[in-house]
Amino acid sequence: MSDPLRLGIAGLGTVGAGVVKILEKRGDLIAARAGRPIKVAAVSARTQDKDRGFDMSPYAWESDPVSLASRDDVDLVIELVGGDTGPAKDTVEAAIANGKDVVTANKAMLALHGQEIAEAAEAKGLCVRFEAAVAGGIPCVKALTESLAGNRIDRVMGVMNGTCNYILTRMEDAGLPYDTVFAEAKALGYLEADPTLDVGGIDAGHKLALLASIAFGTRVDFEGVKLEGIERVSIADIRHANDMGFKVKLLGVARMTGRGLEARMSPCLMPAASPLGQLSGATNMVVLEGDAVGQIVLRGAGAGEGPTASAVLSDVIELARGTRLPTFGQPAASLVAGTRARAESPAPYYLRMELQDKPGALAKAAACLGNAGISIDRMRQYDHADASVAPVIMVTHKAGRPDLDAALQTMSETGVLMGEPVALRIEELDD
């Protein structure tokens, strides 16, 4: 059997510890599958004396992850430090400078600096792999770079943040308002230290930017992803959506259109009977559409020690086998700067608004939509504790978002609205 592949692991949090535990438990099986032993040579973390659930004494210790990346007894660096700059990026750059392949779970770093990192690595014949950076244990990066490499990818979409899906599911199941469930999720440790990374759609937007780069052969463009979080989704929206046969999800969609690359992460309504509509709890789902294969649906755990460590090791094993691929599926130098679509593709929209309960208010609101060329498919009016308020739900036929925004602006100028309306896109899986 070949010489061992010697790993240096920078970061021993949940995922890093999980990688070590799997290697200790399944080392012989992994060696058989990889064609050579895979061993941990050195580790690095903020503190050395923390109990991480395994014996650290067999492994060399480095307090500085950059020093770890420079060790002669390390062949491959696993970066699990986190953060888009600072020690994480320094460690990756040091690994590349010292001729070492890199495996990382760092979506933020790659979403913001992926092009330069990929070019630096590929110029030296090195690989940067990142299966664990997107949707935890779901092998969506490998699906795009390998299994579907013979396809023109038409659309990538999915639920890629388990915390947001947990919050929306919990709101629905328990009938609780957003603020209450947000506090629960925070107490359970589901939220990032900066919660806006989760509920603001930023974390999931990083993931979508990476998948879009692979799918469409473009440079990673996180700034081109339109972001809208779930903060304004109310329990009323969830209930009204259910009444109309929909579920509310934080959905990422990327597609190449005649107007350019459309990429957005926003709350959307999905048909309740669809795979995405049925997705509950902290589970993730990624849907890939290719011209030859059709539609592929991948579902699984989007985070956690085991699933994410499994994804890290999948990259490590591929490199141990000698499988070497460009970072984003094709040489970084050949990736083009994608043209950002100026507007989203037309779609039906769910509208929730509170109107003054007086004659003519509903007619004025409907006229604003009609004057913008937007027709109404369905409409319902609900009771309200305040007799002066008339809550109204509308579902439009397909409309462009600029037309809808213009209609809502005109509506606000009529004086019939009580507060700001909510507009959520309705996404169809077979669109």
**Which parts of 372-417 fold into alpha helices (H)?**
401-412
- Give which of 393, 152, 87 is closest to 293, Cα–Cα: 152
CB-CB neighbours of 323 under 10 Å: 12
Strands 422-426 and 349-356: antiparallel
Cα(284)–Cα(134) distance, integer angstroms = 10
C-alpha neighbours within 13 Å on the C-beta side of residue 246: 22
Place of tokens 């795009």: 144
Cα(211)–Cα(141) distance, integer angstroms = 7
Give buried/exposed letters for 35-64 (b at 16+ CB in 10 A, else e): ebbbbbbbbbbeeeeeebebebeebeebee
| CA 373 to centroid of chain Cα atoms | 34
Three-state secondary structure along 134-202?
A: CCCCCCHHHHHHHHCCCCCEEEEEEECCHHHHHHHHHHHHHCCCHHHHHHHHHHCCCCCCCCHHHHCCH
Those residues with Cβ within 8 angstroms of residue 399's Cβ, 6 or more apart along the chain or in another chain:
346, 347, 348, 349, 372, 373, 374
Which of 89, 207, 247, 249 is the catalytic position?
A: 207
Note if 50 is an active site residue: no
CB-CB neighbours of 115 under 10 Å: 20
Angle between helices 87-97 and 107-123 (to 10 degrees): 20
> How far from 394 is each of 20, 127, 244, 250, CA to CA, in Å?
53, 50, 10, 20
Q: Mapping DSSP to helix (H, G, I), strand (E, B) and coil, where does residue 221 land? A: coil
> How far from 322 is each of 15, 122, 145, 318, CA to CA, in Å?
24, 15, 16, 6
Handedness of CA 94, 97, 101, 105 (dihedral sign): positive
Taking every pair of Cα atoms in the chain, the longest distance, rounded to a whole number of angstroms, is 83
Cα(367)–Cα(424) distance, integer angstroms = 20
Cα(374)–Cα(367) distance, integer angstroms = 9
Positions marked catalytic: 207
